[in-house]
Amino acid sequence: MEQQNVHTHEFDNGLTLIVEQMKDVQSAAFSFMVPAGCIYDPDDKNGTAAMLADWITRGAGSLNSRDLFTTLDNLGLQRAESAGANHITFSGASVADQLGEALCIYGDILLRPTLPEDQFEAVLLGAEQSLLAIEDEPQRRVMVELRRRTFRAPWGRSSDGCLDHLPNITPQSVRAHYETHFRPNGSIIGIAGNVDVDATIGLISDVFGSWQTKPATTIEPGDRGLARDFIEFDSAQTHIGVAYDSVPFDDPDYYTAWAATSVLSGGMSARLFTEVRERRGLCYSIYASQASMKHEGRVLCYAGTSNERAQETLDVTLQELKKLGDGIEESELARCKARAKSSLVMQQESSRGRAGSLARNWFLLGRVRTLEEVRDRIDALTVSDVVDFVRRHPARDFTVLTVGPKPLNIND
């Protein structure tokens, strides 16, 4: 299948490859999404996927941990591994002529990891330190816990895991996660850069064609968490998290929803920053973001303030969210469009950014949105479109979580 300079190929084992040629760059990048994210963690072992994402790169094929890292470093590969909700993602970027060798090494990592027992303690300690850091940073903690309360289980889980669950996670349980969930069917690899399409298809076939299919795991959605909650934290600041319903990524109104959120929080000229921080001086930090998954979406908001001003900050923030349906200015939408176009230009020049977008688009949409399509959709937005959307999807039925020394009153 071809879409301008974007080419897709599905292999017999179900692995999907999407390649975008970028002939004007000297780099090439890949983003490999394997359906083994934290939604597949056992209920009492949240953190399994995150630990596997670390452990799996500590030896593969004939290479031990040190040799593997050295080999990848010698290729000049800028790489990352992370667990998300649905996937564990492996990404990398290098000069184009090194991509083939890098992908061969990742064939060993994904298909033939050694998962060495002597490295597991270091993986466990790393996971513990990451979770302790979140516990000590209430700004991060409030947003992690807000997601847990606003998205249905298990999509609300923290991809970093849960500190209380770490004692339950063993080398055997992490290996079981790998054996059960690492499979080609449902995996997606996006490749972007100065590459030859046919050669890339042949390379992926040689490296991953022998990967054996496995049954997909069915996930049954659970309930959301508490809509009103408070976590006591002895501090001079109060941290406020607010969420409300929006649209999923594949919704026809996705870009209109994005524009509405961008009017609220798209720079220092946006509504929340201007009204809550600058004019009233209520908080030191405030923002909102569009969090759209495959089948549901939310707007997530954060405000950090002093304890004395926390109640007023929450009241005014909720008021500003609800006021958006009263109307927006042409200048506000124009600023949103300008920021979006700047981001598109940057992405157009980044093979790594495009590789990630290719894989994510395929998972969320079953196709690829080209940069031209995205630009055209943004250009076509009007003030009336955005206002109409906000009135059809008003800010209401809030999930509110506060972290601080005392709870707040929620008057919505």
In a domain, 161, yes or no: yes
pLDDT tens for residues 272-307? 999 999 999 999 999 999 999 999 999 999 999 999
Placement of tokens 């004007």 in the chain: 24
Are residues 53 and 189 part of one domain? yes
pLDDT in tens, 72-85: 999 999 999 999 99
- Whole-Å CA distances, 251 to 16, 322, 364: 23, 22, 10
Distance CA 378, CA 284 (A): 31
Q: Is the peptide bond before 154 cis (omega within 30 degrees of 0)?
A: yes
| Residue 410 forms part of a structural domain | no
Return the closest-CA partner of residue 116 out of 49, 62, 75, 159. Answer: 62
| Placement of tokens 């060993």 in the chain | 108
The verdict on 239 and 105 lying in the same domain is no
167: which DSSP letter? Answer: G
- For residue 96, give the amino acid letter: A
Closest CA to 54 of 121, 112, 142, 152: 121
SS3 118: helix
Q: What are phi and psi of 42, to 5 degrees?
A: -60, 150
Quick check: is 218 in a domain?
Answer: no
- DSSP, res 349: T
Q: State which of 175, 208, 241 marks the end of a domain.
A: 208
Would 257 be classed as within a structural domain?
Answer: yes
For residue 17, being part of any structural domain is answered with: yes
Last residue of a domain, one of 158, 176, 208: 208
Range of the domain at 390: 228-404
Q: Are 198 and 121 in contact (CB under 8 A)?
A: no
Query: What does DSSP assign to residue 275?
Result: I
Tokens of 221: 């959605």
Tell me how far apart the alpha carbons of residues 407 and 411 are, in angstroms, rounded to a whole number. 13
Residue-by-residue DSSP string for 350-402: -HHHHHHHHHHHHHHHSS---HHHHHHHHHT--HHHHHHHHHHS-S-S-EEEE
CATH assignment at residue 301: 3.30.830.10
Please state, in angstroms and rounded to a whole number, the distance separating the CA atoms of residues 120 and 170: 9
Task: Give how far Cα 36 sits from Cα of 32, 49, 115, Å.
Answer: 12, 7, 16
Q: For residue 48, is it within any domain?
A: yes
In a domain, residue 411? The reply is: no
Tell me 67's DSSP state.
H
Nearest Cα to 186, choosing from 363, 19, 49?
363
| Same domain assignment for residues 163 and 252 | no
Separation CA 156–CA 201 (nearest Å): 36
List, in sequence order, every beta strand (DSSP E) within 100-177. none
Number of separate domains in the chain: 2
Helices 383-392 and 330-348: crossing angle, nearest 10°? 100
347 shares a domain with 234 = yes
Q: Is the pTM of this model over 0.85?
A: yes
Same domain, 202 and 258: no
Of 177, 208, 239, at which residue does a domain stop? Answer: 208
The one-digit pLDDT tens for each residue of the chain (412 residues) are 445 689 999 999 999 999 999 999 999 999 999 999 999 999 999 999 999 999 999 999 999 999 999 999 999 999 999 999 999 999 999 999 999 999 999 999 999 999 999 999 999 999 999 999 999 999 999 999 999 999 999 999 999 999 999 999 999 999 999 999 999 999 999 999 999 999 999 999 999 999 999 999 999 999 999 999 999 999 999 999 999 999 999 999 999 999 999 999 988 889 999 999 999 999 999 999 999 999 999 999 999 999 999 999 999 999 999 999 999 999 999 999 998 888 877 766 789 999 999 999 999 999 998 888 999 999 999 999 999 999 999 999 999 999 999 999 998 7
Q: Are residues 197 and 110 in the same domain?
A: yes
Residue 223 lies in a domain: no
